[in-house]
A and B are shown apart, each in its own frame.
Chain A
């Protein structure tokens, strides 16, 4: 089942909020998902879970984050098996961009009833929060997706992106991806972080720009229109978080309005 709700809010300009529930066929959970959907709407002024776009035109090029309900459930079950009812679920910062209503609903299904909200800004982040979202161990709940908008070959000695900080040592196939630091992809990942394409790890080469970044795809087969996946492996997440210079929770929390959000449940 796919559901898209578009709501037009007349303010300075029209805003459209869209939700998609993909492959959501399980009858018992559907009303719950609807309930969380509409509780989310009332929070629209402050939440970051809602895809925000200043026009009704489809998002193109593609910039999307997919949240796996299965991964969240698996992580919850692992955490509740260890700590059961003592587990505190941190819903602050809209559950760090994962969507407080969605995360609360999933946690309640697993019997959790202790939550931290923005009313408690001073409470330390429970150490299980990163595991809840699969940022250190467990299954990563979020996968950031960018569209490959160009593929080109360069020869040895040619350089890539601003400042020419990376130079090819051999003939190299490059893929240009429609994500940059304005989308919330940290610029500190330039020349050190990597993405996944078709199961292969591919390095970021050159400086990450505001709206674009470049991957070295010499060792994999890609065509324009393919997806590049980010933050789908804990090892890669650590590098994107600047090797502990920033909290991994801030990655999804920092995704911009331009990135569509989508929860996927089987």
Chain B
């Protein structure tokens, strides 16, 4: 292994516990989608629950089924479905299913009818993000159709949910108002959704009005900030993923680090540095299998290099050097780099 990927489980549990404390009395679900943001889904599930999360948000049904097989009995929430998604397995496994279209609603209800277990449905309303979710104009019809299915006990609408755009306080306020309207409309046709959720990390951390019954925390649980003005550490959270490698002499002016863009090191970073043998050294080039940096004074071959953590930069630093967000940095570390879980 040329790139060492360390996952600090204690830091993860501390972050989750802090978020649980912040969101109370709302419950907390931890987003473990995308291989737990590149950290390791099955490995982190138990830690999230032990630290006080009551559910896990995993994106799609294959991921949810995989966690059930791993022995997770807590609420598992899956909401991105394809035409060939097998809802029968999801219903049999008691997975909470996000529903965004009438076709999905019918398919989920059919699965519940066949399995003779009401499918646990969270109806999604589009409050302005314009990705998934029923349009406001289709919402009443969707709720009425769901209420019909409920009468036949093929589904139970346990939740109403949405996503915020994090565009501005004003945009979020408008979205929350639309969300309130949608909840009232759902209740007006007889639905009793007890799990209302719209906030993810940004709104869940800063806006008590957005928390409702559950906050779905993602990036903050990994100790990385969703805010451009402050790092995860400044928010009192600890980075969970760290990356290190080793360096050897390349020439008089540069050292060669044994990790490159094929290991997930972002290309063409502007003003980037890493910690080589305790000194900050500017990166001069990122190649597929290695990275070059300025040679520090008194360099020894085999020196340790902090790429993320270990005294080196943060995921947020890499994000600012490559004009992106920390989420893309941590999810970009390929699964072929073995994670070492400790802490």
Q: Are A and B bound to each other?
A: yes
Give A residues with C-beta under 8 Å from B. 12-13, 45-48, 52-55, 57-62, 92-93, 96, 118, 121-122, 125, 147, 149-150, 152-154, 158-164, 174, 176, 178, 180-182, 184, 187-188, 206, 209-212, 214, 224-225, 242, 245-247, 249-250, 253-254, 256-258
Contact B267 A211 (CB under 8 A): no
B130 at the interface (CB under 8 A from A): yes
> Would you give the shortest CB distance from A55 to chain B, in whole angstroms?
4
Is B131 touching A209 in the complex (CB atoms < 8 A)?
A: yes
Using Cβ atoms and an 8 Å threshold, which residues of chain A touch B261?
246-247, 250, 253-254
B residues near A62, Cβ cutoff 8 Å: 82, 84
In contact, B267 and A55 (Cβ under 8 angstroms): no
Supply 8 further A-B pairs (C-beta < 8 A) apart from A164-B128, A254-B264. A12-B43, A57-B86, A58-B62, A118-B289, A122-B256, A154-B130, A182-B33, A253-B288
In contact, B166 and A163 (Cβ under 8 angstroms): yes
User: Chain A's nearest CB lies how many Å from the CB of B192?
Assistant: 26
In the complex the two chains form, is B86's CB within 8 Å of A162's CB? no
- What number of B residues sit within 8 Å (CB to CB) of A? 60
* CB-contact partner of A188 in B35, B37, B324, B331, under 8 A: B324
Task: Verify B62–A152 contact, CB threshold 8 A.
Answer: no
Closest Cβ neighbor of A158 among chain B residues: B130
User: Knowing A54-B63, A55-B62, A60-B86 touch, does A212 contact B328 (C-beta < 8 A)?
Assistant: no
**Distance of A96 Cα from B334 Cα, bound (Å):** 13
Known contacts A93-B262, A163-B165, A152 near B135 by CB under 8 Å: yes
Interface 0/1 of B107-150, CB less than 8 Å to A: 00000000000000000001011111001000000000000000
Cross-chain contact A160 with B130 (CB below 8 angstroms): yes
- Report how far A237 CA is from B65 CA in the complex, Å: 35
Please, which residues of chain B bring their CB within 8 A of the CB of A12?
42-43
Are B80 and A149 closer than 8 Å at their CB atoms?
Answer: yes
A214 to B133, CA, bound (A): 13
Give residues of chain B (59-92) contacting chain A, Cβ–Cβ below 8 Å. 59-63, 65-66, 69-70, 80-86, 89
Instruction: Using A164-B171, A176-B131, A246-B267 as known contacts, say yes or no to A182 and B324 having CB atoms under 8 A apart.
Output: no
The reply to whether A57 and B80 form a contact with Cβ atoms under 8 Å apart is no
Residues in chain B near residue A184, CB distance under 8 A: 332
CA distance in complex: A150, B98 (Å)? 13
Please, which residue of chain A has its CB at the minimum distance from the CB of B129?
A161
Q: For B336, what are the chain A residues with a Cβ–Cβ distance below 8 Å?
A: 45-48
Considering the chains assembled together, what is the distance between the CA atoms of A45 and B325 in angstroms?
A: 29
CB distance from A251 to the nearest CB of B (A): 11
Q: 18 A–B contact pairs at CB < 8 A? A: A12-B42, A54-B66, A55-B65, A58-B62, A60-B85, A61-B80, A149-B81, A159-B130, A159-B165, A160-B130, A161-B165, A178-B80, A180-B34, A181-B331, A182-B331, A210-B328, A211-B59, A245-B267
State the majority secondary structure of interface residues on B.
loop
A211 neighbours in B (Cβ, 8 Å): 33-34, 59, 80
**Roughly how many angstroms separate A249 CA and B262 CA in the complex, as a whole number?**
10
Given contacts A55-B62, A152-B126, A188-B324, whether A249 and B131 have CB atoms under 8 Å apart is: no
Q: Is the CB–CB distance between B288 and A158 below 8 Å?
A: no
Instruction: Name the CB-closest residue of B to A165.
Output: B167
B101 within 8 A of A: yes
B207 at the interface (CB under 8 A from A): no
Beta-carbon contact of B131 and A212 below 8 Å = yes
| Contact bitstring B270-290, A, C-beta under 8 A = 1, else 0 | 000000000000000001111
Q: Which residues from chain B contact A258 at a C-beta distance below 8 Å? A: 34-35
Contact check, B84 vs A58: say whether CB atoms are below 8 A apart.
Answer: yes
**CB-contact partner of A164 in B61, B63, B167, B334, under 8 A:** B167
Q: Is the CB of A122 within 8 A of B61?
A: no
A225 adjacent to B267 (CB under 8 Å): no
A54/B83 in contact, CB under 8 A: no
How near does chain A come to B70, taking the closest CB pair, in angstroms? Answer: 6
* Contact in complex: A125, B288 (CB < 8 Å): yes
Cα separation A153 to B136 with both chains bound (whole Å): 12
Query: Are B332 and A254 in contact (CB-based, < 8 A)?
Result: yes
Residues of A near B332 (CB, < 8 A) are: 181, 184, 254
